[in-house]
Amino acid sequence: MARALFIIDVQNDFTEGGALGVEGGDAVAVGVSRLLASHPERYDHVFASRDWHDGDNDNGGHFAHGTPDFVDSWPVHCVSGTPGAEYDPGLDTSDIDVHVRKGMGEPAYSIFDGITDQGGTVTEALDALEISDVDVVGIATDYCVRASALDALAAGRRVRVLTDLVAGVAPESSAAALDELRAAGAEIVPS
């Protein structure tokens, strides 16, 4: 069986200076690139997700009308085809095998909510590639990293979250997310 790396939403709108930029986002991009360059044999396949929201609607209530609650509704971010939706420039994308777009017209937090560039689901890709183990990195620890890791566990994979390669919205909710993931069976470890 094979091991994959899930790079979750390392996009311009989620790193410093973006519409929903989190502290440490740029460092995650650089750190993931460094990990892949220094340990090319560690992963059989690399998946990367991106929010890829519609620009002409509220994406199922995901974009706030008025003031966002920052739980279910958010400021406009990661609109398909805009610079904010692109990968952070610190992320070397040359090792990514499977690109996943999610949130096209609807709220989507987990990589499993997306569609691969080949038109399939993440579960189909994991099964076809015989992936049993998944390491998860990216943004944001307390939202999309959390949801992706929980769904990977639910899909029967062994999961590790690499704590030095994630960045969250808030320290308290990020710590709670890591505790929840540990309780659900994920390993919470540095890279």
- Dump pLDDT digits (tens) for 59-98: 999 999 889 998 889 999 999 999 999 999 999 999 999 9
Checking 59-63 for CB contacts under 8 A at 24+ apart, the result is 59/103, 59/104, 59/105, 59/106, 59/107, 60/105, 60/106, 60/107, 61/107, 62/103, 62/106, 62/107
Catalytic residue among 102, 113, 142, 151: 102
* Side chain identity, residue 97: D
Catalytic residue among 9, 51, 113, 151: 9
Catalytic residue among 26, 88, 144, 151: 144
pLDDT per residue, tens digit, the chain (191 aa), is 899 999 999 999 999 999 999 999 999 999 999 999 999 999 999 999 999 999 999 999 999 988 999 888 999 999 999 999 999 999 999 999 999 999 999 999 999 999 999 999 999 999 999 999 999 999 999 999 999 999 999 999 999 999 999 999 999 999 999 999 999 999 999 99
78 part of the active site: no
72 part of the active site: no
